[in-house]
Structures are given as C-alpha cells and as structure tokens.
Chains A and B, each alone.
Chain A
Amino acid sequence: GQQLNQSPQSMFIQEGEDVSMNCTSSSIFNTWLWYKQEPGEGPVLLIALYKAGELTSNGRLTAQFGITRKDSFLNISASIPSDVGIYFCAGLRYNNNDMRFGAGTRLTVKP
C-alpha cells in the first residue's frame, strides 16, 4: 500500500512555541487530512485539504496540501498544554475508501 512518511516522530516543546510537522509520500493523494489522537480516544479530524497548493487554517492550526500532491505540513502556533497528543497525517485517493496514515508525531508541551 501507499507509504506515508511523517516527521518528526516526537517533539518536546515549551508552551507558547510554534510546532511544525510534515508528511511525504511516493504516491499522489487527492485529499490530505490531519488528525489528532488523545489517550483512550480515536483520531479526531483537524483539517482536510482537497486541492494541491491549498492552505487551510483552523484556529491556531494551519495545514497545506503540497503542489506535487505528495506532501503536506501542519503548523501549530503558540502551543498550549492541551495540544498534547499524537498527530497523524492521512492521505486519500480518489475513491475515498482507503485512507492511509502516517506513523504519527507525538507532541509534548511543557507548561
């Protein structure tokens, strides 16, 4: 199946710092998505991107769909303790029946 390479694996930052994580793939995706997972819960959708070059914000989160359609990044500005969790990128091809996930970025925010 398609391989999504997500980096970094983990991040330890101070409250108030900005965070950046990215995802690359050898395959083209039609939709890129970013999810957050908290302990004991399932992944929750943060941002969905549908067009190459698209830049979308959701509060302090900003994500971009790469021009080549093979990559995406997620930025979190002014991090707060509740940003702690695992962030996953995910890619969907045109049929919408097979979403593939990156390995996740584990974010720790120190107050």
Chain B
Amino acid sequence: DTAVSQTPKYLVTQMGNDKSIKCEQNLGHDTMYWYKQDSKKFLKIMFSYNNKELIINETVPNRFSPKSPDKAHLNLHINSLELGDSAVYFCASSLSGGANYGYTFGSGTRLTVV
C-alpha cells in the first residue's frame, strides 16, 4: 500500500495550459503539503493544509491553487502554465502534535512545460 500517492508521475504540457496534480494519503495524517523541487534539487514549501484549512501559503503565484476536499487529499491546480513552472512537485503529509514529526513524501510529479 502506497502511503502518499501522487498522480500523474510525469506531466508534459504546453505553455498556457491548465493542469492538476492529485495527492492522496492513507496514513491518517491531518496535515498535507506541496513542495517544489527545482533543477538544482532545492526543496521549497509551497502550501500546507491542516484539516482542510490552508496554514501556509508561501510566495507562490496565484496561478497555483491548492484544494483539499478532505483530510486525505490535497490537489494542486495550476493555471496558465509557464516555462518556469517546470520542476518536480512533491506532496507530503504529517501528523501535527504527535511524537513523530517526520513528513512522508510521495514519489513526485515531474512537470515539464514546453
């Protein structure tokens, strides 16, 4: 059983398109995140949701809109894709306030904008 699953694994699309990445976790965690990893492998937090409520919204263009229909899902919708959006996007989840503070990451979605 995959703990944090993202789909699709790869996404190639043209500039100007709108696309979505889906994320689901089956760990019973109450907090979910989106991270962006650039070509230099730097991991930067984009959003954090706790119990479906937006907690963190880093300086991300408003073309990026996260949506959390329930605690187990956090989807990322991107409008009007640009070349600079090309990166690997990771979903993660954690349990807030628990003894184990580690985040569990999905295997990533490689987005290529052409």
B-contacting residues of A (Cβ < 8 Å)?
1, 31, 33, 37, 40-45, 48, 50, 86, 88, 92, 95-101, 103-104, 106
Contact = CB atoms under 8 A, between A and B. Distances in A.
Contact of A97 (B40, B43, B96, B107): B96
B70 to A, nearest CB: 18
B45 interface: yes
Given A97-B31, A97-B50, A43 B100 contact: no
B102 interface: yes
Contacts of A95: 96
B107 A40 contact: yes
Nearest to A106: B41
Interface string B16-59: 00000000000000010100000011111100101000011010
Contacts, number: 59
Interface residues of B, number: 28
Given A42-B108, A96-B94, A48 B100 contact: yes
Contacts of B50: 97
A105 to B, nearest CB: 10
A67 to B, nearest CB: 20
Interface of B: 4, 31, 33, 40-45, 48, 50, 55-56, 58, 90, 92, 94, 96-97, 100-108
Most buried by B among A1, A96, A98, A101: A96
Contact of B42 (A45, A92, A99, A103): A103
B108 A97 contact: no
A97 B55 contact: yes
Nearest to A31: B101
B45 A98 contact: yes
A100 B44 CA distance: 7
A18 to B, nearest CB: 24
A13 B40 CA distance: 21
